Chain A
Amino acid sequence: MFDIQLMGLLNATLQAATLLFIAALGELITEKSGILNLGVEGMISIGAVTGFMTAINTGNIFLSVLVGILSASIFSSLHAFVTVILKQDQTVSGLILTILGLSLSALMGKKYVGKKLPVKIESVFNVDEPKNIIEVFLNQNYIFYLSIFLMIFTAYLLKKTMFGRRLEAVGEDSKAADSMGLNVNKTQFIATCVGGGFSGLAGVYLTLSYVPYWTDNMTSGRGWIALALVIFGGWKPYRTAIGALLFGFLEALVPRLQTYGFELSPYLVKITPYAITIIILIGLTIYKGGRTGAPSNIGIPFFRESR
């Protein structure tokens, strides 16, 4: 009996972590280029609602995922336009993007509240009641495997490819990158839109698999957690994945605490990952002399003439 509960917990952990991780990975790519996008919450909402609408109307899963990714990516290009091309403040623009994304998705999805999905992202191997860890892993859906692939791919992309090196150069010292002939604006613009696309994928996962329906504000703060995850992970894909598992575990654990007979307040348990993130951040800053892994140019608009 306990075993089945434990497997249920593991399953819920993986599902919660997948969503958080995909969004965080996208934000990581954006931030690597020196652009801070606080609009993750809004971008996930846009991806979630457009994916859901497509699924209801067409019943085509593949198309829904594609539409979710593309629309969130186009939506994030608004942030890219305002901050990269027009050099306006990234903090402000990102916060507005959150408000716009949440309200716009609520308006778009108004007619879809309470509708039942004709399709759902299926598990790769349908295991009815997973009895061991392997079966739990096999029971996950395609997006879970895609996220593992994206993690390895992003880590490779950042460290081994020209695109990754360019991204890092721009994020660390945009002026030096510019004088070396890199197109700073183009790199930052692309990185922002790629980040938006990842958030869109997280959104589609939310409405087509994690909780298969649509209501307003259903992201319920997950976008903000994704932002915290990037910091927790020190701007590294693998460490971000560990963070996602931790946050996902706590999200899965909280509703189960009472069935396990713990007297611990679930509300206080929910705070712990944030406290841990702050402690890790301070620890990293002290021990590494300020080198937390944050791109040095984050939040600073690149303006050629201010050299």
Chain B
Amino acid sequence: MNKYLLSKKIIINELSTFYSFLIGLSIGITIGSIILLTQGQNPIEVFSLMLKLSIGSVKSISSSLNKATPLILAGLGISIINSVKLWNIGAEGQIFMGGIALNFIYISSEISNPNLMIIFLLASSFIGGAVCILFPAIAKVLFGVNEIITTLLFNYIVIGLTVYLVNGPWKDPDSLNFPAAAYVSKEVYLPTVFGRLSYGFIICILCTLGVHYLKEKSVFGYELRIAGGSALTAIYAGINAKQKAFVAMLIGGGLAGLAGGVELLSQTHRVSTGLSQGFGYTAIIVAAITGMRPFGIFLVGSLFGALTIGGSVIQTMGVSSYISDVIQATTLFGALIAQFFFTYKIIRVSEDV
């Protein structure tokens, strides 16, 4: 009679998350193909069209990267908060709050210098996101209230607030029956670098580098890791763990808010319930699947942007766009399963030991 035990591998391959992701992707594509076959579609045809329309030209690559921008920004925020071992499930709400704060500042001020105004508006969206997580952060550090639950609940509150604003005080009379706020003026649109690629993506690259530096190279990042690692070590090292956690949460929430601000100024140009299409939730998964590494978030986020664009354009072929959601989800499950084999080994022991 044999028994099986799990043991954590001592040496884990540096690139294991990358490999797991590739394994997951192949599982996702396989399952996606099977579903396409059952729907009477040719998978090779559909996937080649998806590839062509998501990364086949400068225009499509820039659309994919634009789509990836809010995912990456929110994912970076989640990774900062996770360095103190806390979860932020509220990125979705923070994205909306970023948009709301931006629009609030926009309608209550006048544009004299558009470039300065854009910076000012993006800063206000960052602050909006930070304000959105302020309450869960205070509840966490002062009373120890579980942040997973409070940040999750704040999503509903902020989305409810958004629905209220776009149906009530901010409702644009010209939007007919569609509940949305008025468009912002063209002057404050984020300009494009080339093709359709918005400057938002440049902001995204800068934030990735910044977060990488902050987490891996700076004293602050080191203190965050200690604060998240062991309460006792933090005390010995003279680090105020609660203060660090608080600051990390505000920065993380701010980045998600910035994601909303960038999305508003570059894509939707107005506040509506369509400002985020679940970016906040996908960002959590992207961040987690890459082991919270900024460059990993950047790469996987970009890929997911492409997958979303590819998924939305294959609708013209009569293929449901939900296929790309299924591929995303099965890719992620596949990656989680593969990750297990990189981090654990199964030992067989005989019962009579």
- By a beta-carbon cutoff of 8 Å, the part of chain A in contact with chain B is 36, 38, 78, 82, 86-89, 91-93, 95-100, 102-104, 106-107, 110, 216, 221, 224-225, 227-228, 231, 265, 267-268, 270-271, 274-275, 277-278, 281-282, 285-286, 290, 292, 294, 299, 303-306
Contact = CB atoms under 8 A, between A and B. Distances in A.
B89 A91 contact: yes
Given A88-B339, A224-B156, A286-B143, A95 B284 contact: yes
Contact of A100 (B150, B163, B329): B329
Given A271-B156, A274-B156, A281-B149, A87 B340 contact: yes
Interface in B222-272: none
Contacts of A216: 322
Contact of A89 (B149, B152, B288, B329): B288
Contacts of B6: 87, 303-305
A271 B154 CA distance: 10
Interface residues of B, number: 51
Contact of A274 (B87, B160, B281, B285): B160
Contacts of A265: 164, 167-168
A96 B327 CA distance: 11
B340 A102 contact: no
A221 B92 CA distance: 13
Interface in B149-195: 149-150, 152-157, 160-161, 163-164, 167-168
B333 A278 contact: no
A231 B337 contact: no
Given A107-B35, A107-B322, 15 more contacts: A36-B148, A86-B336, A86-B340, A89-B288, A95-B285, A99-B285, A228-B156, A231-B149, A265-B168, A267-B160, A274-B154, A275-B157, A278-B154, A281-B146, A292-B146
Contact of A285 (B87, B144, B157, B289): B144
Given A95-B284, A285-B143, A274 B320 contact: no
Contacts of A292: 146
Contacts, number: 139
Contacts of A225: 156
A268 B164 contact: yes
Contacts of A95: 281, 284-285
B120 interface: no
A306 B325 CA distance: 36
Contacts of B150: 278, 281
Contact of B144 (A107, A224, A274, A290): A290
B332 A96 contact: yes
Contacts of B344: 86-87
A282 B142 CA distance: 10
